Amino acid sequence: GNPWNASEGFGRVDAASSLQIRSGRWVNLTQPLNGTWMDVDQTYRIRGTAEMLEEDVVVLNGTVSELSHITISGRYTYWDGNNFRNKTAFLWDNATGIDNWTYDLSPELWRDGGGLYVEVRAWDNVGRVSEGSWANYHLGETWMTLDEPSGFAPLSGDVNLIGDYKAVNPDQIQYKVGSSGEWQTADSGLESPYVCDIMTAPGFSGDGDCSSEEWSSTWDTTEYIDGGWMLYVRILSESGESTTPIERYVNIDNVPASPELSPYGDIVVEENGIVVDSAPVDSFLNVRAQLRNNGDRHARNVLVVLYENGDQIASETLSRVDSTDVAEVVFGYHPTDTGLSSLKIEIDPSDTVTESDESNNEQEISFTIDSIPVGVDLALREGAATTNPRVANPNGDVTLNLRLENLGSSDASGVTFTLERWSELGWELLDTRGINIVSGSGYVDVPFTIHEGQLDVGAALFRASVSVEGVVDIDPTNDELEFTLLADEAQLQGARKLELSEGHVPLGFFGYSGDNLLFTGDGDSIWVHRVNEKYDLFTCLELEDDWAGEFAISSGEGDSANIVWTRRLLDQFGATVTTLSFSTVDLSCTNTEVIDLMPQLMLAEGTYWGIDLEVEEGKALIGGYHRDLFTSGTYDDVTSIFMLDSSTPLDSESWQLTREVIPVIEPPAGMAGSVQVARGSNWTHMTYQAMRDDGTGSERVGTFYAHGRLGEANWSFKTALGDHTSLGQLSVLQNSDGGDVVLTGWKEGAGYESELVLIRSNSALQDKEVKRVSAAGVSTLVFVETARGVQVLYESVGPLGRQIHYSMMDAESINIGAPLAEGALVMVGRSESTGETHIIYSSPTMDWRARLLIDDREPTVPDRGIIDTIRIWTGLDARTFDLAWKIGVSVCAMGLILMLATSRGILSRRRRSKSLSVVIEEEDEDEFEVDVLDVEEDSIREFAEPAESPQPEEESPSTDESGEEDADTEPSTDDEAAEDGRARRRSRRKRRSTQEAKVEVEELPEPPSPSELAELPEPPAPGELGLLPPPPGRDVTCECGATFRVKSVEMKSVKCPVCDAKISL
């Protein structure tokens, strides 16, 4: 037939091939067969055979021809209407082998439903090439989707599984429920070999419809119990290969909403908080168990019962257990019989709570009860030495009490008790006591008095020992106890009950100048409470309502607490993320703007934890762990330690982040580690916990110390401090030369074998002083920095239960102290200005308590002044209060000015007031009455009284013939101020009249001389003058009948002084 040309098609000449000497058909392409569909996600092996026929063997220049190699070429092709499209896939690559050759290829999807033309040729050693062997393949892709169920809504009954697919040579679509479930057929009616419908151009894939197809199936969810399940779907091909399954989390909910309670974790038995496998008879123990509500509805009034050997010995009722919540119950357990006991927890034994599954409500363990040893076993255990007062003060007498126990069953008599003290000369005997009897399984307290002046400030080492006559002590190793007493100039006040709301747990304490704040956590919230001197709480602020669990506090040196915590929030896309935030809270319970310090992380990207905060001289320093699950898209799950610092913490732009100060560590399981940071004069210091397997080859938690420069990553100085550690603490002081003194502490071991390790050293961890203290079950360790050094408070198990211990460290020494109080230490706060250390703890009766440890010095309480006192009382922050009091002062000043102006106006008005006598004439048939009314001058505003000519003061008003009196103004003898005003006005009128007269006089001509004057006529006689004219004015009669006289003839209107009516004149 016609040869195939890769670029020109059939019947065309391959110019490149024609240059070679063409020979016979030496090569065959056998697999895959022509017309096979290939999946672009797979790798295929092209194979065939090659053989030179005898008649094609030639000898050229003495060389006998034979096959030398096989070459293969391929092109992607498709038809676009009537146009043929193609491009090179690979060009004459060498195949592997000759006689049985192979070539591996992974096709690309240049066009869905397109083709791949492959041609192979054989070459001999004399340069001849065989005819080609070819095949045409069809190309497609394999994928699928799961559109329903979406996973958002709960599922019940028959559920439709629906999606789309494309597949090359598919067999069926399968599904399974749960990772351990079996694959089941969902849809077997799939398009095969592919979804394309039309093939144009014989032998070639064309431009037909290759759209995806829909698949569907029905799934009966009632075959599975309610709850969350993982649904998997996949495509299975004819060759048995399958696609990567699609995973979809779904919630099956066929049964009506109901709780589903079951035990969670293991039952544990504790003695003083330490988990034990056995205990002596008559011990006081706790049995701790947890239960979980796996249902989709909360459960109320859940009864949980503890049984010992089938008998009920305790019960507890939980008021509410929400869906998916884990609740804990603790039972008191006092075994009275020895031997192996069966302890069983049963949830809702009467089935009063309707559950979806009632068969999983029990859990049981075995526990050994040991008998009390027969005989005498005198013991002086750690924590047996206490003092009264609890802090031994060198300025007074101290009573030392030593508890001597008899752990055996027999009474001990003839007991000798000895107390010694260590001095430069060795052990010095202080006292020897004889004790008549110590009852079996009992104890006695042996008191000793240490008088004032026998203790100096610091630690004193003592040794107590006991012996018994006539019997052998079962365990003589506990007959001697060495202990230290810390003499400190401080006093411990009595305990006060702390009334916390249910669910609240103390997080931090802040005090300044006698005012205090307590921070508590309750679920997702952080609350702030004011605390007075009696430890009464006044809740004043919800600092956070979506708390993520981490919290650290530093008092700094001002009147505000510095707080850092992790919180959750929604990002711009609506996803829940976690970040690290900073704020301050002042004594008025007002917080500054919250500053987010770290990049926001989704749950799948990582988390921050183990946070520590230090604020000194206004500079803030933060350290913590960062678990990076995303790791720039590689999901390598890398944990490192970061550091943040700022010289102005309230400025969000001032914070500097240093990543990977300690890079790539393996953190303790369950994110149990903590980072501690401190500034020094030479370095920035840090301790942290991480897993280690060096030295012994076994993995364990170690505490590490490191120091470096702020802003630098990957600190070079790192060293391990201890093994099997936890509860790390760090402080840095300065010695007399200004150098850094590093104080560290941590717990080593577990249970009754726990120890507290305290170290004082320089930055290079040389010249170390190390103190190891037996601290059974220690679970809390706190360093509190003070002006006198570092107070060390921790709690461990003693003869009577958990005890809080108090010690001191400074730049020169470590001083171990005695028990301070009974209870479990929770947290400690410090108010340096008042020299107060606030100790918050849980008492043996399981309620919150607070005690105050006060330095023996005058408190350096700064005088806040009345302004700051008022601000704190009002509850306003400094900026708001500053603005408020300025506005208040301005308002008061304006009000005062207005009052002065108003008062002056009233006085002036009173001075201007003037009485006017008005004559009212009332005519009647029989009589004539004249009433004189006093009218205020201000009531007549329509006219101004004309200026009168000055009259001699002795001149009296005239009377006309009818006997009417002029309505002259008469002075009021009762109003001297008004009379003074009228006198002043008359004086002013006189002055004006005098000035006018002077002006007129100046304008007149010179008077004539007496010689120029003629004789004047005689003045007229009195009878010739006639009557005088009446005074100016007129009488006015009002509609009300009142008649009064008005002096002025120029007035247009006047008001009636009786009815106030306006009268036109």
- What six digits make up the tokens of 942? 């329509």
Cα(385)–Cα(399) distance, integer angstroms: 10
Interval 707-722 mean pLDDT: 93
Residues 53 and 23 in one domain: yes
- What six digits make up the tokens of 432? 């020897």
Q: Is the pLDDT at 925 greater than 50, yes or no?
A: no
Closest by CA position to 936, among listed 960, 959, 962, 915: 915
Q: Is the pLDDT at 865 greater than 60, yes or no?
A: no
Q: How confident is the model at residue 962 (pLDDT cuts 50, 70, 90)?
A: very low
Q: Identify the pLDDT of residue 804.
A: 94
Closest by CA position to 791, among listed 823, 839, 826: 839
Q: Are 815 and 459 within 8 A, CB to CB?
A: yes
Residues 940 and 1061 in one domain: yes
Q: Identify the pLDDT of residue 907.
A: 56
Three-state DSSP at 909 gives helix
What pTM was estimated for this model as a whole?
A: 0.63
CATH of the domain at 287: 2.60.40.10
Q: Are 685 and 614 within 8 A, CB to CB?
A: no
Bond preceding residue 32 cis, omega within 30 of 0? yes
Place of tokens 């004559």: 919
Evaluate whether residue 276 is within a structural domain. yes
Evaluate whether residue 448 is within a structural domain. yes
Residues 279 and 246 in one domain: no
Q: Identify the pLDDT of residue 924.
A: 42
Q: Identify the pLDDT of residue 603.
A: 83
Bond preceding residue 506 cis, omega within 30 of 0? no
Residue 971's Cβ-count burial label (10 Å; 0-12, 13-18, 19+) is middle
- What six digits make up the tokens of 239? 């060759």
Quote the Cα angle for 338-340-343, to 5°. Answer: 110
Residues forming a β-bridge with 262: 292
Q: Is the pLDDT at 914 greater than 80, yes or no?
A: no
Q: Identify the pLDDT of residue 114.
A: 85
Q: How confident is the model at residue 135 (pLDDT cuts 50, 70, 90)?
A: very high
What are the start-end ranges of the E strands in 589-724? 595-596, 601-602, 606-616, 619-628, 638-646, 656-665, 676-679, 684-692, 700-708, 717-723
Cα(84)–Cα(882) distance, integer angstroms: 84
Q: Is the pLDDT at 21 greater than 80, yes or no?
A: no
Residues 932 and 1062 in one domain: yes
CATH of the domain at 221: 2.60.40.650
Cα(538)–Cα(519) distance, integer angstroms: 11
Q: Are 784 and 801 within 8 A, CB to CB?
A: no
Q: Is the pLDDT at 1024 greater than 70, yes or no?
A: no
Backbone angles phi, psi at 231, to 5 degrees: -100, 130
Which residues have a Cβ under 8 Å from the Cβ of 834 and sit 6 or more positions away? 511, 513, 514, 854, 859, 860, 861
Residues 157 and 221 in one domain: yes
Evaluate whether residue 959 is within a structural domain. no
DSSP designation for 392: B
First and final C-alpha spacing in the chain: 141
Residues forming a β-bridge with 518: 509, 529
Cα(46)–Cα(104) distance, integer angstroms: 6
Evaluate whether residue 872 is within a structural domain. no
Domain that holds residue 194: 143-252
Q: Is the pLDDT at 758 greater than 50, yes or no?
A: yes
Rounded to the nearest angstrom, the gap between the alpha carbon of residue 300 and the centroid of all alpha carbons in its chain is 30
Cα(715)–Cα(696) distance, integer angstroms: 25
Q: Identify the pLDDT of residue 903.
A: 77
Tallying the residues shown for the chain, one arrives at 1065
Amino acid at 747: K
* pLDDT tens digits along 653-674: 999 999 999 999 998 888 888 9
Residue 33's Cβ-count burial label (10 Å; 0-12, 13-18, 19+) is exposed
Dihedral, CA atoms, 223, 229, 233, 239, nearest 10 degrees? -80
Q: Identify the pLDDT of residue 756.
A: 95
DSSP codes of every residue in 449-508: EE-TTS--SEEEEEEEEEEESSS-BS-GGGSEEEEEEEE-SEEEPPPEE--PPTT-EEEE
Q: Is the pLDDT at 923 greater than 50, yes or no?
A: no
Cα(326)–Cα(356) distance, integer angstroms: 17
Evaluate whether residue 119 is within a structural domain. yes
Residues 181 and 194 in one domain: yes
Residues 85 and 56 in one domain: yes
Backbone angles phi, psi at 95, to 5 degrees: -85, 165
Count CB atoms within 10 A of the CB of residue 132: 23
Helix or strand run (H / E) with residue 568: strand 560-570
What are the start-end ranges of the E strands in 169-298? 170-177, 184-187, 213-220, 227-237, 246-252, 261-263, 268-271, 274-275, 278-280, 285-293
Cα(509)–Cα(523) distance, integer angstroms: 19
Cα(497)–Cα(776) distance, integer angstroms: 27
* pLDDT tens digits along 391-416: 998 888 999 999 999 999 999 999 99
Cα(596)–Cα(580) distance, integer angstroms: 6
Q: Identify the pLDDT of residue 911.
A: 53
Cα(297)–Cα(258) distance, integer angstroms: 5
Q: Is the pLDDT at 94 greater than 60, yes or no?
A: yes
Evaluate whether residue 957 is within a structural domain. no
Task: Identify the domain boundary among 252, 285, 300.
Answer: 252
Q: Are 614 and 620 within 8 A, CB to CB?
A: yes
Interval 919-939 mean pLDDT: 43
Q: Identify the pLDDT of residue 934.
A: 44
Q: Is the pLDDT at 997 greater than 60, yes or no?
A: no
Residues 136 and 150 in one domain: no
Q: Is the pLDDT at 921 greater than 80, yes or no?
A: no
Q: Identify the pLDDT of residue 1011.
A: 56
- CA–CA distance from 337 to each of 79, 167, 368, 369, 978 (Å)? 92, 72, 10, 7, 110
Residues 392 and 404 in one domain: yes
Portion of the chain with pLDDT greater than 70, in percent = 81
Q: Identify the pLDDT of residue 995.
A: 55
Query: Between 878-912 and 865-874, two packed helices, what is the crossing angle to 10 degrees?
Result: 100
Evaluate whether residue 215 is within a structural domain. yes
Domain total in the chain: 6
Residues forming a β-bridge with 922: 929
Q: Identify the pLDDT of residue 228.
A: 87
Place of tokens 């699950």: 629
Residues 53 and 130 in one domain: yes
Q: Are 299 and 257 within 8 A, CB to CB?
A: no
Place of tokens 């849809």: 187
Q: How confident is the model at residue 906 (pLDDT cuts 50, 70, 90)?
A: low
Task: Identify the domain boundary among 888, 912, 936.
Answer: 912
Q: Is the pLDDT at 949 greater than 80, yes or no?
A: no
Residues 124 and 238 in one domain: no
Q: How confident is the model at residue 958 (pLDDT cuts 50, 70, 90)?
A: very low
Evaluate whether residue 1010 is within a structural domain. no
Residues 82 and 93 in one domain: yes
- What six digits make up the tokens of 999? 């002006």
Mean of all residue pLDDT scores within the chain = 83
List Cβ<8 Å contacts ≥24 apart for 806-810.
806/391, 806/486, 806/488, 806/853, 807/486, 807/758, 808/486, 808/488, 809/731, 809/743, 809/758, 809/760, 809/783, 810/733
Which residues have a Cβ under 8 Å from the Cβ of 340 and sit 6 or more positions away? 366, 367, 368, 369
Which residues have a Cβ under 8 Å from the Cβ of 731 and sit 6 or more positions away? 678, 743, 783, 785, 790, 809
- CA–CA distance from 786 to each of 30, 188, 348, 682, 760 (Å)? 89, 78, 52, 21, 16
Task: Identify the domain boundary among 222, 252, 282.
Answer: 252
Helix or strand run (H / E) with residue 11: none
The dihedral of CA 355, 358, 360, 363: what is its sign?
Answer: positive
* pLDDT tens digits along 526-570: 999 999 888 999 999 999 999 999 999 987 667 899 999 999 998
